[in-house]
A and B are shown apart, each in its own frame.
Chain A
Amino acid sequence: TQLLEQSPQFLSIQEGENLTVYCNSSSVFSSLQWYRQEPGEGPVLLVTVVTGGEVKKLKRLTFQFGDARKDSSLHITAAQPGDTGLYLCAGDRYNFNKFYFGSGTKLNVKP
């Protein structure tokens, strides 16, 4: 059983559409990170959210941390083919000194 559950597992959309990816847990995290990973490469850090209810924007990407710090979402506006990749959420729990990853959402944006 994974500590972080991501949904959906797969998403295939047309360029220009909006989408939301979810990351849920029954555990509280001190912070949560979102990464994007391309095939054959390591994950690249997109953002870190720390405060419950926090919203961060990175161009067309909007990240939200749940009030209780147990869940997070990533919303992409007007998706582009360059957004294609595996989106991973990872949580850092207090005093655990390691990151727990979800299984990822594989996004394909078709031109």
Chain B
Amino acid sequence: DTGVSQDPRHKITKRGQNVTFRCDPISEHNRLYWYRQTLGQGPEFLTYFQNEAQLEKSRLLSDRFSAERPKGSFSTLEIQRTEQGDSAMYLCASSLDTGDVTEAFFGQGTRLTVV
């Protein structure tokens, strides 16, 4: 296992189309996070899973966004009816909840461009 893997790395889509991104976390990690990053800004929290349960969603996550982690392993983030404002880097991270210090490890991200 070499780390968090995201697919695709880049996605260009027309406004109004649906897109889906995949994240494969580090295998033993039980927590998975989705973040969004726009140019010149730090990552903004979108949502996180503990195993298969989605425990928190940011207000940034509109009804057009949905995330799943069906078997507590990989996760998908779907954006429906994309808008130009959705253009950003979508980052996935995973961590192991040991009850002690939590360290999040990020994937390489999916760069979304909505035209």
Contacts and interface: CB of A to CB of B under 8 A. Distances in A.
Which of B4, B31, B43 has the most CB atoms of chain A within a 10 A radius of its CB? Answer: B43
Contacts of B21: none
Contacts, number: 65
Nearest to A30: B101
Contacts of A41: 108-109
Contacts of A59: none
Given A43-B43, A104-B41, A99 B108 contact: no
A31 B6 CA distance: 26
B103 interface: yes
A103 B37 CA distance: 10
Task: Bin the interface of chain A by size.
Answer: 20 to 34
A81 B15 CA distance: 39
B48 interface: yes
Interface residues of B, number: 27
Contact of B40 (A48, A97, A103): A103
Contacts of B104: 33, 45, 90, 99
Given A42-B106, A92-B102, A99 B44 contact: no
Nearest to A43: B106
A102 interface: yes
A99 B35 CA distance: 10
Given A31-B102, A98-B48, A103 B109 contact: no
Interface string A2-19: 101010000000000000
Interface of B: 4, 6, 31, 33, 35, 40-45, 48, 50, 55-56, 91, 93, 101-109, 111
Q: Top 7 closest A-B pairs, CB basis?
A: A101-B42, A42-B106, A42-B109, A42-B108, A103-B42, A98-B45, A101-B43
29 contacts: A30-B101, A31-B102, A33-B103, A41-B109, A42-B106, A42-B107, A42-B108, A42-B109, A43-B43, A43-B106, A44-B106, A45-B105, A48-B101, A50-B101, A88-B42, A90-B42, A90-B43, A92-B101, A92-B102, A97-B50, A98-B48, A98-B56, A99-B93, A99-B104, A100-B45, A101-B43, A101-B44, A103-B40, A104-B42
